[in-house]
Amino acid sequence: YSFDSRTKAVRNVFKKYNSPLVDQATFYVKYADEFGVDWSLLPSIAGLESTFGRFLMPGSYNAYGWGGGHIYFESWEDGIRVINKALKERYMARGATDVWSIGPIYAESPTWSVRVNYFMTQFDQEYKRLTIFSLIPGI
């Protein structure tokens, strides 16, 4: 996954926001693929809930507001794996398959989906930029 353009897109957007999650980019794509979740969803949730891991309960590894932000994970990777699995089993398996249908269940705020989608768009645009440049020889 290290050379996957999606991983590079996650890493680049994280760098833009000075995120401590930069080195975790591979896990976001790996576990999203493993559980069949959109690869940009969880990094985007981190963008909204903790400014990409910059503001959270110390030592919690919970950049996602999971459990009101009070649930602690063993590591960044553990949190990424657990939440992708939960998104698949608790949301997607019950018909909430995109940010618009997940939002009303995940968060109380009626603007949660719009704000998460804002970050998803940034990841998607960076992915497209990387993909286009990879097709042009010499760049």
Inform me whether the pLDDT recorded for 136 exceeds 70: no
Q: How far is CA 22 from CA 8, 15, 17, 111, 139, in A?
A: 10, 6, 10, 26, 23
What is the residue type of 132? I
Inform me whether the pLDDT recorded for 137 exceeds 70: no
132 pLDDT band, cuts 50/70/90, is confident
Which of these, 4, 2, 15, 1, lies nearest to 130 by C-alpha position?
4
**Residue 67 burial by Cβ neighbours in a 10 Å radius (0-12, 13-18, 19+):** exposed
Per-residue pLDDT tens digits for 56-114: 999 999 999 999 999 999 999 999 999 999 999 999 999 999 999 999 999 999 999 99
pTM for this model (two decimals): 0.94
Cα–Cα distance between 98 and 75 in angstroms, integer? 26
Q: Return the pLDDT at 97.
A: 93
Which of these, 139, 38, 130, lies nearest to 91 by C-alpha position?
38
1 pLDDT band, cuts 50/70/90, is confident
Higher pLDDT, 138 or 122: 122
2 pLDDT band, cuts 50/70/90, is confident
Which of these, 78, 77, 98, lies nearest to 87 by C-alpha position?
98
Q: Return the pLDDT at 4.
A: 94
Cβ 46 vs Cβ 68: under 8 Å: no
Cα–Cα distance between 135 and 114 in angstroms, integer? 32
Please list, in sequence order, all residues whose beta carbon lies within 8 angstroms of the beta carbon of residue 109, skipping any fewer than 6 positions away: 115
